[in-house]
A and B are shown apart, each in its own frame.
Chain A
Amino acid sequence: MATFEPALFARINKPDSASLKTYQADGGYSRLKEFLSMAPGDVTNIVKDSGLRGRGGAGFPTGLKWTFLPKDHPGPIYLAINADESEPGTFNNRYLMELDPHQLIEGIILACHAIRSQKAYLYLRYEYGTSYRVLDAAIRECRAAGILGNNILGTGVSCDIVLHRGAGAYICGEETGLIESLEGKRAWPRIKPPVPAIEGLFRKPTIVNNVETLCCVTQILYRGTEWFKSIGVPPDPNNPRDPGSYGPKLYCVSGHVNRPCCVELPLGVTARELIEEHAGGVWKGRRAKAVVPGGISMGFLSASELDTKLDFAGPGKVGCLGLGTAAVVVVDDQTSMVDVLYNCCRFMSHESCGQCTPCREGTAWMTKILERIRTGQGRTEDLDLLMEVAGSMGIIPGTTICGLSDGAAWPVKNAISKFRPEFEEYVRSRRATVTSAQQLMAVH
């Protein structure tokens, strides 16, 4: 562990880290010509062999995704870069875009070559104005240097990047919602199949990859698959379906810690280590009551689960939805879980796209039920009602098109099952503060 050297973040503390000059001084783009001379399938195979899994939240193997493209398609084929980073607690892609845009651009060029695409659309959330300006400048530098555009560095390979700004909607981070939004429509996720690799942006084969994933592609090409596989957690030998959790990961730590941060570490670090060793511990000398392992959609770890390894498999072993974006949010022991859960539900209700009824209605009603509890008009039965609503929405029960709904249900399921006594006590003590007439009015 002590020997771990950041790769994705190797440059971010250097002066002028975002410039082409700084990137090239570190060897950036030095082997681009060589890589673009390789057969596209060979680049895909390197990424496949590395075991890289998508960093955007779902953890799907990147190289495998690329192989879903139809063979011998006449084109165009598109790459869409998901830079709509909006999962609460998550800000790692912002670091990568603002502080080292060329690492990302090189990853985009390499991925485009692998999938035989000449055009990449980078869907950037509107709120990242600084990222937009840094990327725009970096893309111009590349065009001027012949690194983007037609016939890159004389290799005969062409690739260009279009920056496309969103308009403040979380659902655009869902890959088919992103595609619809890019096409100029409301961001309603599409029913799959067909997966985007078969029919995506502008009805053409499309690969959607996250910013950090593409930065990993650059590092894998330069440092090799053996380097990548020497970091992280190998597959569980007792689980033939586990592809493992290889490589470095950017972990975000925020909330009630002394030093909120974004830190690069091998996949598999524990929540406790992140909080204690990298984020300066829980603030004000308090203890952690609950910890979000990977953005609020993933649910909560309880105080007794802080030794959970934050690799792709770890959070699921203690009832969370998954690793998600590896955004860790710490909640201290002086904070009410009702308030925390209410905040999560309000977010999901605001951001549900409204296409699927169980999600649109479920997120809204869960928020209303928690509002009622907070005003002292709740009943302990409401906790069961919340669990019932949460259990009825999402891809897992098969009632919605996309996973936003599963991510809306999970914090409810985790909070109420792991912190039920606190919720019950809250309901009782708040009820005592209002009159029976008010309680009756709330029920009927």
Chain B
Amino acid sequence: MSVLSEELREKIRAEFPKYPNKRAVTLPALHLVHDTLRAVSREAIVEIAELLELHPAEVHDTMTFYNFFKDETNPLGRHRVWFCRSISCMLRGGEELLETVCHKYNVHPGETSPDGRMTVEFAECLGACEGAPCILVDDVCHMNVNPASASALIDKL
């Protein structure tokens, strides 16, 4: 029983023609699997490696370099909310915002709320410094966020 569905495999194969070799599809494949399965498990790594004609260790090496992909011990919640902690946001209350949200939803950065609704992360500069403090909900940026507006966003997830 494979972890990756045929549909997912087809999506990964569809990336092949864009690159001169299959190894370059490592990040696109990891994104596809991670988005769909909310984690990249050891089994998934083996199956990605088979598709890309790589050793599983090569996929694992790339995957773990980026502090981005979760493994099966700590899967993503339904949404992922990133709080910027870098300089422009820090100067305008970003760290306090993260702290307040973590307390309110009883979750630490890197963890998922008990109801599975969201994984909270700290982020390094999100590139939206004109709207500091900013947060990223999945991959959509929200600017000039305060604890009340962050809670309102999260409660709607």
Q: Which residues of A contact B (CB under 8 A)?
A: 76, 85-91, 93-94, 125-130, 132, 162, 164-170, 181-187, 202, 252-256, 260-262, 292, 296, 327, 329, 331, 335, 339-340, 343-344, 347, 350-351, 353
Q: B127, A128: Cβ atoms under 8 Å? A: yes
Q: B87, A126: Cβ atoms under 8 Å? A: no
Instruction: Give min CB distance, A219 to chain B, whole Å.
Output: 23
Among residues of A, the one whose C-beta sits closest to the C-beta of B125 is A88
Known contacts A166-B27, A168-B68, A329-B88; decide if A127 and B131 are in contact (CB<8 Å): no
Among residues of B, the one whose C-beta sits closest to the C-beta of A165 is B31
Among residues of B, the one whose C-beta sits closest to the C-beta of A129 is B139
Instruction: Give min CB distance, A383 to chain B, whole Å.
Output: 21
Q: B130, A252: Cβ atoms under 8 Å? A: yes
Instruction: Give min CB distance, A292 to chain B, whole Å.
Output: 7
Q: Which one of B26, B129, B138 contacts A184 once the chains associate, using CB atoms below 8 Å?
A: B26
Contacting residues, chain B, for A261 (C-beta < 8 A): 130
Among residues of B, the one whose C-beta sits closest to the C-beta of A185 is B62
Q: A126, B68: Cβ atoms under 8 Å? A: yes
Q: Does B9 contact A (CB under 8 A)?
A: no
Number of interface residues of B (CB under 8 A): 44
Q: B127, A94: Cβ atoms under 8 Å? A: yes
Q: B66, A169: Cβ atoms under 8 Å? A: yes
Contacting residues, chain A, for B27 (C-beta < 8 A): 164-167, 181, 184
Q: A329, B124: Cβ atoms under 8 Å? A: no
Q: A167, B130: Cβ atoms under 8 Å? A: no
Instruction: Give min CB distance, A35 to chain B, whole Å.
Output: 26
Q: B87, A130: Cβ atoms under 8 Å? A: no
Partner-binding segment picked from B15-23, B71-79, B112-120, B147-155: B15-23
Q: B68, A252: Cβ atoms under 8 Å? A: no
Among residues of B, the one whose C-beta sits closest to the C-beta of A255 is B91
Q: B129, A351: Cβ atoms under 8 Å? A: no
Q: Which one of B25, B66, B86, B139 contacts A88 once the chains associate, using CB atoms below 8 Å?
A: B86
Q: For the complex, give the distance between the alpha carbons of A252 and B31 in Å.
A: 30
Q: Which one of A129, A256, A327, A350 contacts B141 once the chains associate, using CB atoms below 8 Å?
A: A129
13 A-B pairs with CB atoms under 8 Å apart are A88-B86, A88-B88, A89-B87, A90-B127, A94-B128, A166-B66, A167-B30, A181-B27, A184-B24, A261-B130, A262-B130, A339-B90, A351-B124
